Amino acid sequence: EKHKACSMSDDSIADTLVFQDPPTNVKAVSPAVMAAVTPVLESVALGQDDPAIIFDWHQPALLSLAAAPAPGGLAPAPWMIQPLTPHNIQSSIIAFAGVPAGGTHGHVCFAPNTLVQFNNVMMRVGYIQDHEWMQAMAASAQIGVGAANGPLATLHFATDRNSTPYAAALVAAPAGTQIFA
């Protein structure tokens, strides 16, 4: 069964987007992010084998992470731009995670991606989430799924123009905080 996700102008792609797959963990893409990715989704080839990855950043978590005290004894992740600011955090994560992506569109979208590219991007997102320094910073900043300041970003996946980007549950870090929802 397909479910309507959001409403925008009648001529917008968002009006024709519907959820696919079991919508048990679906979270709507924020209107600002949807506005930013709609032109991308309209301009690239999407399909079950060419998914887009969309980052819906959470400002409270970005601000908390940027302001958090550095964990003692741990060097910052080598891919993290210093000083920590919300913009540098987004830029660092997009730059590192997006190396294998088919295309990078600002801080919000990787598209199009082959399945291999998609899997490689998601492996890098998992590496970011599991990194010892990121885990320590997440604890210090109180970010993550269920934490006071929420997750750093919700990741959504779009598989075609007839499906709304949907959030899929990511596996929690082995012994830590699930930074991305």
For position 34, what pLDDT does the model report?
A: 85
Residue 83 has pLDDT above 90, yes or no: yes
| Local confidence band at 22 (pLDDT 50, 70, 90 cut-offs) | very low
For position 165, what pLDDT does the model report?
A: 65
pLDDT digits (tens, 9 = 90+) for 117-170: 999 999 999 999 999 999 999 999 999 988 999 999 999 888 866 666 655 555
**Is-above-0.75 flag for pTM?**
yes
Q: What percent of the chain has pLDDT over 70?
A: 76
The owner of tokens 């929802």 is 181
For position 175, what pLDDT does the model report?
A: 57
| Local confidence band at 7 (pLDDT 50, 70, 90 cut-offs) | very low
Pick the residue with more confidence: 5 or 98? Answer: 98
Beta-bridged to residue 3, according to DSSP, are: 19
Which pairs from 21-28 meet CB under 8 Å and 24+ separation?
Answer: 21/166, 23/166, 25/167, 25/168, 25/169, 26/166, 26/167, 27/154, 27/156, 27/167, 27/181, 28/164
Edge-to-edge, what's the strand order for the sheet holding 166-167?
104-105, 109-110, 52-57, 153-158, 166-167
| Local confidence band at 105 (pLDDT 50, 70, 90 cut-offs) | very high
For 152, which DSSP code? S
Classify residue 179 as exposed, middle or buried by CB count within 10 Å of its CB (0-12, 13-18, 19+). Answer: buried
